[in-house]
Amino acid sequence: MKRSIDIIKQPRILVLKEIEHLSTEQLNKVPTSFNNNIAWNLGHMIAAQQGICYKRSGLNTTVSEDFFHTYKPGTKPERFIDEVEIAFIKEQLFISLEKLEADLDKEIFVDYTKVMTRYGIELSSIEEAVAFLPFHEGLHIGYIMSLRKLV
């Protein structure tokens, strides 16, 4: 699965380069007609990965439950995300992938509870979940690139 993880990692590197000049205030800004901001989208990418890989496999997330519930699907920014949390999110974009790769190598994803995504894609295995991640993250990176122009 090394190649699959690289397909997720490279766009994460790119998006961080694209937003590195933005202030904490800009990362938190929710423009008119949007429901979220850049910081939330970054956190959501991690929470979604945790949900479809770990939670669907009956495993604990590698981030705190509080973090997961703040950024999971169906949420939106409820508070200002400070620079300490933003730094944590940026770090977790890569730590979470390294952990996922290591856990895939250890074959800890034995069980998987099937789910139908909101995009009409059924995921019934960890392999399908990992294959779905680049699609999902591509959507959110697209939102981030649009938001970047408005903040």
Here the CATH number for the domain that contains residue 38 is: 1.20.120.450
Domain hosting residue 138, numbered range: 2-150
Which residues of the chain carry a pLDDT beneath 70? 1-2
pLDDT at 2: 65
pLDDT at 1: 58
Contacts (Cβ under 8 Å, ≥6 apart) of 58:
111, 113
pLDDT at 4: 78
Q: Residue type at 148?
A: R
Contacts (Cβ under 8 Å, ≥6 apart) of 126:
53, 57, 104, 109, 112
| pTM more than 0.75 | yes
Distance of CA 20 to CAs 23, 56, 111, Å?
8, 33, 39
Number of domains, the chain = 1
Element (H, E) at 123: strand 122-123
